[in-house]
Amino acid sequence: MDAFEEYDAVEVDEDALPEYSLEEVSKHASVDDMWIVIAGKVYDVTDWQHDHPGGDDVLQVNAGKRYFYIF
């Protein structure tokens, strides 16, 4: 998959999404099960980590944590 591939927008009812504590997110910090928090939202990046434009190591060192970045 091309990292810059465009995707169709998907409507999401954010009130219906589950909430996770940082303690729960921290349990998903391995290469085989990797979650990160970006802007207060939890993402499972397990299958996408090798396609990250900055390299998979960027996600791996931040797995199970809040992921801070600057645009």
CATH number at residue 41: 3.10.120.10
Task: Kindly list the strands in the beta sheet with 33-38, ordered across the sheet, starting from the edge strand earlier in the chain.
Answer: 29-30, 33-38, 41-44
Per-residue pLDDT of the chain (71 residues; tens, 9 = 90+): 555 677 788 888 888 889 998 889 989 988 899 898 888 888 898 998 888 888 888 888 878 887 655 44
- Give CA–CA dist 29/32, Å, rounded: 8
Range of the domain at 42: 18-62
Give domain status of residue 31, yes or no: yes
5 within some domain: no
| Residue 70 placed within a domain | no
Residue with tokens 């009130």: 15
Domain count, the chain: 1
- Residue found under tokens 């998979």: 56
Is residue 29 assigned to a domain? yes
Gap between the Cα atoms of 41 and 56, Å rounded: 19
